[in-house]
């Protein structure tokens, strides 16, 4: 095989591999049904579970209810709504603006790093 054939084949093979891996990665991210995430949750700082807020994610609107004064201390605004994302979930304010995005760590735990560097944890509570 001549060198000019190799030079032409390598970029094509690389582009093909990148395209395949990107497509399979996108297919692995599934948008959860809001009903899967509705229920009782606890919001706390990592390592400080004693200062936890009890929250309810409701699917009707969808809205967040529970200990709002506690949640505001970390979010700096009241979380009125929420929505699932392929890699987690987000809380929104009363105008629908995103307050924070929490990354899915497992089926029961979501995390976000706050500007202070602390890690905010949202964990599912038993119903």
pLDDT of residue 120: 97
- Report whether 29 contacts 8 (CB < 8 A): no
Q: How far is CA 41 from CA 23, 28, 110, 115, 117, in A?
A: 33, 25, 10, 22, 22
What would the pLDDT profile of 25-47 be if each residue is shown by its tens digit? 555 778 888 999 999 999 999 99
Kindly report whether the global pTM for this prediction surpasses the value 0.85: no
Among 18-27, 41-50, 73-82, 83-92, the least confident range: 18-27
Q: How confident is the model at residue 50, as a pLDDT? A: 83
């Amino acid at each position: 095989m001549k060198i000019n054939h190799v030079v032409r084949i390598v970029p094509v093979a690389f582009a093909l591999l990148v395209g395949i891996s990107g497509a399979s990665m996108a297919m692995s991210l599934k948008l959860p049904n809001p009903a899967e995430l509705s229920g009782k949750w606890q919001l706390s700082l990592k390592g400080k579970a004693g200062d936890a807020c009890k929250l309810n994610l409701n699917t009707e609107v969808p809205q967040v209810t529970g200990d709002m004064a506690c949640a505001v201390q970390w979010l700096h605004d009241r979380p009125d709504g929420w929505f699932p994302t392929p890699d987690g979930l987000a809380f929104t304010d009363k105008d629908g603006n995103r307050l924070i995005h929490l990354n899915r760590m497992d089926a029961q735990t979501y995390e976000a790093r706050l500007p202070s560097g602390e890690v905010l944890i949202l964990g599912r509570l038993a119903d």
